[in-house]
Amino acid sequence: MHYSHKKLFLFFLSCIVLIFNYNSSGFVTATSQLGLNYGLLGDNLPPPSDVNNLFKSIGITKIRIFDPNTEVLDALRGNKDIGVTVGVKDQDLAALAAGEEAVNSWFATNIEPYLADVNITFITVGNEVIPGPMGPQVLPAVQSLTNLVKSKCLPISVTTVVAMSSLGQSYPPSAGMFTAQAREQLTPVLNFLSQTSTPIFVNIYPYFAYASDPVNIHLDYAISTSEAVVVQDGPLGYSNLFDAMFDAFAWAMEKEGVKDLPMVVSETGWPSAGNGDLTTPDIAATYNGNFLQHVVSGKGTPKRPNSAIQGFIFATFNENQKPAGTEQNFGLYNPVDMKPIYKLF
């Protein structure tokens, strides 16, 4: 074997050994179970150490935090059973997109100190910034961070989070199509992610679609209790809105030449208050319970029947510093006493 080839082979071998060691703490099972978003926009939230104990008690193996909060990451030290998705703050995007020096510095400050005893599985670059003025910053930042984690042989994937607003058309699902700006900003990111089959993270909220048109969208379709097909789209039949929205995004990617790229549902949920009869604890419990069953069942969607759904419910707690109304009421738990707002687990 030529020396340079041998050197390359040994490098990849060392990466495989390192990744095996990182993943042997339950990484594979973590990716097949439900995740929770852990937001911090509240002034009455419990200490992160208590929240870590809550996650342990209910068997959560995946969480997503929106920035590399030191208190949260410190509280997770030693708990390698939880895979952590860490977000880059949107205001840091410009610097990370500008050059590798800023990327190296950000990583050394926010990720490196936790690698030994926190199971960081994903870094998300930008939260719903595509499409928009900050959208062009996503690709260079994703590329630089990806190159950095690869050079360090770390089993961390780098991606971005987008919303369904990136679609200009979503009904029926097979008509799913990106807006012009989303196509311009997102397609290069999707092509880059495709090189390593790294999932795109998508926020999917049937609640907002239902709340905007409760006359034409029936509640049982929105909260996944309908057993009958409601939308027939060619050979594919849809009995729930979540699957239709998920597949609309998959179709939109396919129209840009991106086929079979994995999707992770970075956020979904239903508020338990804030909009009258549309938002009760019972309805929220039903929607989230059905999403949980969807994940646990291992079943996919009509377009991707063999791809199990992976995703995160939004959110762990009601957050009183979010905009008033439904935004403050997506939590599963009351932050003051940490009691469930409704029974899910």
What are the residue numbers of the active site? Answer: 128, 267
If we measure between CA atoms, which residue out of 158, 166, 180 comes closest to residue 245?
166
DSSP per-residue letters across 263-292: EEEEEE---SSSSGGGS-HHHHHHHHHHHH
Give whole-number Cα distances, 169 to 165, 173, 212, 231, in Å: 9, 9, 16, 16
**Cα separation, 280 vs 273, whole angstroms:** 5
For residues 27-62, b (16+ Cβ closer than 10 Å) or e, as one string? beebbebbbbbbbbebeebbebeebbebbeeeebbb
If we measure between CA atoms, which residue out of 227, 128, 132, 209 comes closest to residue 171?
209
Long-range contacts of 251-254 (CB under 8 A, 24+ apart): 251/173, 251/174, 251/175, 251/176, 251/177, 251/303, 252/166, 252/167, 252/170, 252/176, 252/177, 252/178, 253/190, 253/200
Give whole-number Cα distances, 151 to 106, 140, 154, 156, 220, in Å: 16, 16, 8, 11, 49
Residue listed under structure tokens 């208050």: 273
For residues 277-302, b (16+ Cβ closer than 10 Å) or e, as one string? ebbbbebbbbbbbbbbebbeeeebbb
The residues that bridge with 233 in the sheet, in sequence order, are 236
